[in-house]
Amino acid sequence: MSSECLFCRIVAGELPSTAVHETETTFAFRDLHPQAPTHILIVPRAHYTDAVDLAKNEPALLGDLTLAAGAVAEAEGLAESGYRLVFNTGADAGQTVFHVHLHLLGGAQLGHFGT
Ligand code: 5GP
Ligand code: ZN
């Protein structure tokens, strides 16, 4: 846990968030600036910089994040209609918080990603 890291502080309850799902290893909360009708961030409780850092050091946690995303999608009523899961990785992708987070976006027909 880093006192400098925004998402470590959210996981620790030091900063407020709207939590939607919690497990022993993961924490999911609503994005402050939603980019879709449903926009939820799923993070590991432990601090890793990005998806590759996580995969190198704790690969099972990637599975935990994906399973948590599936549970969130089910709870949000998105399991049938579908949803997008995204890891922004590094500056060109627009990663702004360097505690790995899986974006779950849904609730509308999403444009194809790219530019
Ligand atoms: P990134 O651009 O790093 O992939 O995504 C960071 C996400 O975190 C953005 O979608 C942004 O809206 C969200 N975010 C930034 N600060 C906060 C915060 O304090 N609380 C919540 N719930 N979301 C945040
Ligand atoms: Zn962190």
Q: Which residues line ligand 1 (CB under 6 A)?
A: 6, 17, 29-33, 41, 88, 94-97
Looking at the chain, the number of H-run helices and the number of E-run strands are 3, 5
CA distance 65 to 43: 7
Specify the ligand 1 atom closest to the Cα of 6.
19
Residue 3's pLDDT is 78
Query: Nearest 5 degrees, angle CA 79-CA 83-CA 84?
Result: 145
Per-run averaged pLDDT (10 residues), the chain, 115 residues:
88 98 98 97 98 98 98 98 97 96 96 75
Nearest CA to ligand 1 atom 17: 32
* Residue numbers annotated as active site: 101
Q: How many angstroms does the Cα of residue 80 sit away from the middle of ligand 2? A: 32
Q: Which residue, among 114, 104, 113, 103, has the nearest Cα to 50 in the 3D structure?
A: 103
CATH of 6-106, one of 3.30.413.10, 3.30.428.10, 3.40.190.10, 2.40.50.140: 3.30.428.10
